[in-house]
Amino acid sequence: MTDVGTPAEPVFEFNSLMQPEFSKCPWPYYKQMRDTNPVLRAGNGVTEFVFIARHEDIDRVLHAPRLFSSRPDESQSGDPLIPITFDPPEHSKWRRILDPMFSPREMAKLEDGIAQRANGLIDGFVERGECDYANEYAVPLPCLVFMQLMGFPLEEFETFVDIKERILRGGGESFQSQDPVQRQARDQIDTRIAELLDERRREPRDDLLTRLLNTEIEGRPLTHEELMGTCNLLFIAGLDTVTDSLSCFYAFLATNPVHRQRIVEDPDVIPKAVEEMLRYESPVTMVLPRLVTEETELGGCPVHAGDRIVPLLGSANNDESVVENPHVVDFDRPAMRHYAFGGGVHRCLGSHLARLELHISLREWHRRIPEYHIPDGVELKYAALLRQVEHLPLVFDKVVA
């Protein structure tokens, strides 16, 4: 058990989520907000959101989809992302057909392939005694696993990652911007996914593109728009979040040798370590903003129909009213229901896949590279919104042949 400390106390503002300082060290912002402004209405003259920080309020919003809807407002363009932009009962129909594709039993079939991929990547750099962790492990491992599962061509790996980067991070510093870079990237992936769906119509394969084409909802096949909305969300959700988590975890483990040593000596602790690091790091900082459908209140503050609520997941996960000593990363903490995968009906569809990838990658890596550090003088830079260490050089102090 190590106390990771509480840094100085900055102030959470409208654009904080987009700032690298926030991404690197969000905990003091969360705490300041919970203590002084747990329901914060903030805007930039164009857009306004209500940011919420306390576990109690976030829990309520995530579990009341009728009052706090996930449907997009008029300002958001493009086809609906399925199932995330639907509310129950429509949403439940989609989860009924998608859940079996990502069930623990389906995902368990990927275990050997993930371990082989992890070891193949480690083979590529282990003898060098160092690696560029993001580019050589955290990006390719989950992206290649997910692309293979979907049926996206692996030789287009770099193009797919580049498109995903432009969609998620091409909008510059402004929260919720609709930048031309993002629009162009969306068009590019739409075209490619439509081509791949056409190819699978002609030549079915053992992949999720084919499975989606053969799936029925309410006794009919999915329309083209529905296929595109589903594939687009899977593309965005599947290609970034595990990379974000891996890079946050390894930055933590590289600087906290006691925790790392525990994983090396007792690999059985890995599932608990993953949950605790997901809780503490909360790489996905927020869920999709929720649209208030009728006048109500949150934490005693009035909110109105049309307001958009942004629940800060990392703040809920580090709220001292539900987590004892939240700044202590404790792999032996009693199991708790954290919100790193969201909560309520939209709780992450890919959580079983994500957990499997995180478990296997930690297990294989620490079996072969038990000791490593970040070279002196390296200033880590975290990408905004989805917390990802963009450049994480690691030097190995011990490798196992």
Distance CA 230, CA 212 (A): 9
- Count the alpha carbons within 13 Å of 173 in the hemisphere toward its beta carbon: 8
Q: Is residue 94 within 8 Å of residue 83, measured between CB atoms? A: yes
**243 near ligand HEM (CB under 6 A):** no
User: Which phi and psi angles does 216 have, rounded to 5°?
Assistant: -120, 145
Residue with tokens 């769906």: 197
Beta bridge mates, 291: 69, 308
**245 near ligand HEM (CB under 6 A):** yes
Q: Where are the alpha helices (DSSP H) in 340-395?
A: 351-368
Nearer to ligand HEM by Cβ, of 126 and 186: the residue is 186
* From 316, 348, 374, 394, residue interacting with ligand HEM (rule: CB under 6 A): 348
Q: Is residue 109 within 8 Å of residue 257, measured between CB atoms? A: no
* From 30, 137, 341, 372, residue interacting with ligand HEM (rule: CB under 6 A): 341
How far apart are CB 292 and ligand HEM at their closest, in Å?
15
**242 near ligand HEM (CB under 6 A):** yes
**241 near ligand HEM (CB under 6 A):** yes
13-21, 155-163, 282-290, 326-334 -> range binding ligand HEM (CB under 6 A): 282-290
Distance CA 201, CA 188 (A): 20
- Closest C-alpha among 337, 190, 154, 313 to residue 245: 313
**238 near ligand HEM (CB under 6 A):** yes
35-43, 165-173, 209-217, 343-351 -> range binding ligand HEM (CB under 6 A): 343-351
CB atoms within 10 A of CB 149: 22
CB atoms within 10 A of CB 251: 22
Nearer to ligand HEM by Cβ, of 291 and 374: the residue is 291
How far apart are CB 12 and ligand HEM at their closest, in Å?
19
Nearer to ligand HEM by Cβ, of 29 and 341: the residue is 341
Using left for φ > 0, alpha for ψ between -120 and 50, and beta otherwise, residue 218 falls in left
Distance CA 222, CA 229 (A): 10
Nearer to ligand HEM by Cβ, of 114 and 354: the residue is 354
**102 near ligand HEM (CB under 6 A):** yes
Nearer to ligand HEM by Cβ, of 95 and 373: the residue is 95
**26 near ligand HEM (CB under 6 A):** no
> Which stretches of the chain bind ligand HEM, using CB under 6 A?
83-84, 95, 102, 233-234, 237-238, 241-242, 245, 283-284, 287-288, 313, 340-342, 346, 348-350, 353-354
